[in-house]
Structure 1
Amino acid sequence: MSTSQKFWNFSNRVYQNDDVQKACLALQDKYGLDVNLILFCCWSGALHGEFTEELFEQSLREASDWRQNVVEPLRNVRSWLKQEIHNRRFSANSSVMDFRAVVKATELESERLQQMDLERLIDHSSGSEFEPLNSSAKNLRRYCDRCGVDLTNDVKLLLALILDACLPDEGPDKALRALS
């Protein structure tokens, strides 16, 4: 397996869980967090430890640029088409529905490319010891802090659900405690 696909494969495995999907979308829609960065915090923490300052800053910069210029415009087009189809403006137009499917697939591909870019930032040679759950939780807390998202009980519960899916051997209670 190529290195550039490990984060993507991890994300797909975790995101198959319906509760994780709901938690990620709630964190995105209510709090403005980037789902790819949430998953990157978990994946990187679990496999490589806590973010270095350089990795954290670079991942935020690159993810922000890509999200603003590629992912969000595609998401906006897809959402607008969905709403218009729902409002029956295009309900009988299968070409518009087909086009929306193409936009959705393109949006998904843009997220895969973003994840490949984030994974490329990781220094795979790090040999230091770390605790996967605590490292992932520290990465998530740091990301939330940078985004101005308070770790309220609601936010912690959503993040703990995601952490538990990423590191299922740890258990949900331990995931929640790690975020405190």
Structure 2
Amino acid sequence: MLSPDSFWRYACDVYRNEQVQQVLLECQDLHGKNVNLCLLLDYLTTHSIQLTKQQVQALVACAADTDKTLLHPYRTTRQQVKKHFDDYPEYATLRKSLLSTELELEKLQQHRLIELASGFDLKPCDQQISNLELYLPKQLVTRFEHAKT
């Protein structure tokens, strides 16, 4: 039912919105929340799938694992290159390559999250739901939903 490719396209489409980017980066930088998980929770909401608190916690653990082992160390490397090696003659090429690899790591994290969610007992929900409310403070959920419109 859930497709990594469909989720990737959805996430890219939503993230193109600059207001959405601002809210999600604030969630990440100021509140320690995972952008890919926010996007997945919203994606599931758009498909009328309501998660439980336990399912969201499993997704949080999955995202934390790939953040710790892959994304955070890689971002640190990319930031160090930017900070200390911007005079390198091939800097522009190197930066583009680093950003491209980081994007692939984001895609890998999304894939892992979708795989985990696909193993859940997912049931359609007829009522108005927001999985983000199980992960973010209400004010951030409201700002995210407003930014999407």
Quickly name the TM-score band, shorter chain normalised. Answer: 0.7 to 0.9
| Match of residue 142, structure 1, among 134, 137, 140 | 134
Runs of 4+ in structure 1 off by over 4 angstroms are 123-127
Q: How many residues align?
A: 147
Structure 1: gaps of 5 or more residues: 85-89, 145-150, 169-180
Report the equivalent of 2:124: 128
Partner of 2:104: 109
Query: Which is further off, 38-47 or 5-14?
Result: 38-47
Structure of greater relative contact order (alpha carbons < 8 Å, 6+ residues apart): 2
**Aligned-pair Cα RMSD in Å:** 2.4
Aligned partner letter, 1:59: L
Query: Cα offset for 1:18?
Result: 0.9
Question: Does the 8 A contact of 1:66 with 1:114 survive in 2?
Answer: yes
Q: Is the 8 A contact 2:66 2:109 kept in 1?
A: yes
Letter in 2 for 1:101: K
Amino acid at match of 1:95: E
Aligned twin of 1:52: 52
Shift of 1:126: 4.3
Residue 70 (structure 1) aligns with = 70
Opposite residue 27 of structure 2, the aligned amino acid is: L
Q: Offset at 1:121? A: 2.6
Residues 1-180 of structure 1 aligned to structure 2 (within 5 Å):
3-84=3-84, 90-123=85-118, 126-131=122-127, 134-136=128-130, 139-144=131-136, 151=137, 156=139, 158-164=140-146, 166=148, 168=149
**Structure 2: gaps of 5 or more residues:** none
The percentage of aligned residue pairs carrying the same residue is 27
Cα distance change, pair 53–24 in 1 and its aligned pair in 2 (3 A): closer
Task: For residues 23-48 of structure 1, give each alpha carbon's deviation from its aligned partner in whole angstroms, at most 9, with x where no partner exists.
Answer: 11111111111111111111112214
Could you list the per-position Cα deviations for residues 55-77 of structure 1 after superposition, in whole angstroms to 9, with x for gaps in the alignment? 22321121110011101111111
